[in-house]
Amino acid sequence: MDLQGKHIVLGLTGGIACYKAAEFCRALVKEGATVQVVMTEGALQFITPVTMQALSNRIVYTSQWDARAPNAMAHINLSREADAIVIAPCSADFMARLAQGRADELLSLLCLARPMERVPLLIAPAMNREMWAHPATRRNVAQLQADGCTVLDVGVGEQACGETGDGRMLEPQELLADVVAFFQPKLLAGQHVLVSAGPTYEAIDPVRGITNLSSGKMGFAIARAASEAGAQVTLVAGPVSLPTPRGVKRVDVRSASNMLAACMDRADTASIFIATAAVADWRPKQASDQKIKKDGSGQPPALEFVENPDILATLAQSPRARSGALYCVGFAAESHDLLANSSAKRLKKGVPLLVGNIGPATFGQDENALLLVDAHGTRELARNTKRALARQLIAEIASRMVHKE
């Protein structure tokens, strides 16, 4: 429950994207937030207060003259209670109102009255592509950002008017990810994090290959956590079926050689490399270009193997890593003797931090337990969700970056 204890004022303005606000509100509540909905007159043309009240479990405010406010100051009460005000959808007209400091209805009034130093304002624009591209809207976006407002991205695709392009509101789960990320401490601001994740696949023939049980979930969680922490993140992913985390640039690869090339191409601009991928140690020396058939002898075909390149060791021994410009973190997926094997692997790879886990207990699971091994000793991160562990690991890495350990 990433938003446990947070109180969100959710503002709705006029636009067809109000239908997404219902699911967004429900998602906020499921993540632990309390949600107070405030609707403009325009929003009432697209969705009813009854719907939003049912989803938020709170009465919905629509007017600055609402007599339910005991002191007749709903704009003060609502803004002072909030941890953040999120306007989704935010129409072009309402963006102009905010940029001008207008305050002639409840939602813009409470935005203007909010204590800016402790109640952030996030807006999710929603409009036609021409409206989004118009110079007036671009000026308003720039003014809102200059005033300290966080303007979220817009989606690209088909719009209710029948046109296609930029300007539609983000999907509810994208909005949720952005709100959750907003509240995370920006421990890696200014850093470029390169993450490898998932298994590799080494072809035997066009239909068979060698791989492992890694799902990539831990690496994807780390990429998300790094992005939440303010870093620019590149994720080099083996063959997995996972959605790309918000704000992360993804590069899909297949084999260990592919992964090495992709990591080497991007290591020159990275400041942190986190090698979570479960890379195959060996590959067939020569993959057949046709499916290998049974010959009736009852014997399997003779396969000759060669060792794959060591991606972590290669990057850890690079000039940038040796100079301290690239901080390398390794992962060890072991089946037994976790401490001994992880400690030995850290020394062998030449990395400052090695993260060990028991592979059979974590592959494909949503939870994990980690053992951090460095030159000073070990630290256990108790079993938890991979998302929670990823955030803990990112905090550990950020601390080491500050102290250059």
Task: Assign residue 359 a region (left: φ > 0; alpha: ψ between -120 and 50; beta: otherwise).
Answer: alpha
* 161 noted as active-site residue: yes
Work out the angle at residue 140's Cα, subtended by the Cα atoms of residues 135 and 144, and round it to the nearest 5 degrees: 150
Q: What share of the chain is helix, strand, coil (3-state, %, to 5)?
A: 35, 25, 40
Sheet with strand 272-275: strands edge to edge: 248-252, 232-237, 192-197, 272-275, 327-334, 353-358, 367-374, 377-385
SS3 32: coil
In the set 149, 161, 263, 328, the catalytic residue is: 161
Scanning 87-183, the segments in alpha helix (DSSP H) are: 92-100, 106-113, 129-133, 135-146, 172-183
- Roughly what angle, to the nearest 10 degrees, separates helices 92-100 and 106-113? 40
Closest C-alpha to 217, from 114, 54, 357:
357
- Read out DSSP for 214-261? --SHHHHHHHHHHHHTT-EEEEEE-S---PPPTTEEEEE--SHHHHHH
Cβ atoms of residues 378 and 355 within 8 Å: no
Distances (CA, A) of 234 to 52, 104, 272, 273: 38, 45, 10, 10
Cα gap 175→86, rounded to integer Å: 10
Contacts of 366 (CB under 8 A, 6+ apart): 217, 385, 386
Cβ atoms of residues 199 and 255 within 8 Å: no
Contacts of 115 (CB under 8 A, 6+ apart): 79, 80
Catalytic positions: 161
